[in-house]
Amino acid sequence: MPVVTEFPQGTFCWVELATSDRKAATDFYTKLFGWTVNEMPMEPDNPYVLLQKNGTNAAGLMKRPDENIPPHWTSYVAVDDVDASSEKVKSLGGKIIAGPFDAMDIGRMSFAADPAGAIFALWQVKKNGPYIRDESNTLVWNELMTNDVEGARKFYTELIGWTPKVSPEYTEWHVGERAVGGLIDKLPPGAPPFWIPYFAVDHCDESLEQLKSHGGSVHMGPMDIPGVGRFAVVADPQGASFCIIEMKLEEHHL
């Protein structure tokens, strides 16, 4: 189901880049993923950029609101009641960084941090348009990298209602029978816990060469995940980290 029109509680419903250089970042991602651009008025000379595949929204991009915040991707999780979920974040030891507030007439949202400091967004849909994912050059996975796996399992299970499927080296988050995201105890040295998006590509190694030619950098990889695919952890020229993955199994989610 590459084009998504319904966003049940606990599903990842959007991914958004906050960057230090809107025009340069737009140029980088349109070249890397072949996305097209639809700019939406937001502030004078600072539009909100909808990055699209085949005319359908794939991701968002905007200039970061605070110059002290490093460029980063934010993962959005759908919830039925953003106000109630925001209060629950606080009761479970997390923080609400901003919100809840209305995003025009399309939704209501808040920016939150889990108890270890990983930032994410809560989104209550009002009239979202279609969103494309789970195919080449779109979002396929969202993963939490943290040094507090047990704390994260408890926090997100109680907040979102995810069911953790635990293996020795990895935790998958499930909504019903569907795997929607992951959790791993692997933080880069000195990095705080964070959520990172995975974007599918047809050829991992070729995409890495393109990424480097456009000014991006490689943090880790490429390397193979047995039975899943070949991936790398990378960064755009402004420093926002993300992953690319060449899926080996059709219709397979991480």
User: Mean of the pLDDT values across residues 206-231?
Assistant: 94
Q: What is the pTM of this model?
A: 0.93
User: Mean of the pLDDT values across residues 17-46?
Assistant: 92
Distance, CA of 231 to CA of 233 (rounded, Å): 7
The answer, yes or no, to whether residue 59 has pLDDT greater than 90, is: yes
User: Which residue pairs, CB below 8 angstroms and at least 24 apart, start in 213-216?
Assistant: 214/27, 214/28, 214/31, 214/32, 215/28, 216/28, 216/32
Q: Are residues 46 and 81 in the same domain?
A: yes
Tell me: the pLDDT tens digits for 118-170? Answer: 999 999 998 767 899 999 999 999 999 999 999 999 999 999 999 999 988 89
Q: Are residues 170 and 211 in the same domain?
A: yes
CATH code (residue 150): 3.10.180.10
Which of 131, 165, 192 finishes a domain?
131
Tell me: the pLDDT tens digits for 169-202? Answer: 899 999 998 999 999 998 877 889 999 999 999 9
Q: How far is CA 19 from CA 15, 126, 238, 240, in A?
A: 13, 26, 7, 7
Distance, CA of 242 to CA of 232 (rounded, Å): 9
Tell me: the pLDDT tens digits for 61-111? Answer: 999 888 888 999 999 999 999 999 999 999 999 999 998 998 887 889 999
In this prediction, residue 251 carries a pLDDT of 44
Instruction: Count the domains in the chain.
Output: 2
55 falls within a domain: yes
Backbone angles phi, psi at 116, to 5 degrees: -90, -10
Percent of the chain with pLDDT over 70: 97
Domain around 187: 135-247
Q: Are residues 101 and 151 in the same domain?
A: no
Q: Are residues 75 and 125 in the same domain?
A: yes
Confidence band for 5, pLDDT divided at 50, 70 and 90: confident
Q: Are residues 125 and 7 in the same domain?
A: yes
User: Mean of the pLDDT values across residues 200-213?
Assistant: 97
In this prediction, residue 252 carries a pLDDT of 46
Average pLDDT of every residue of the chain: 92
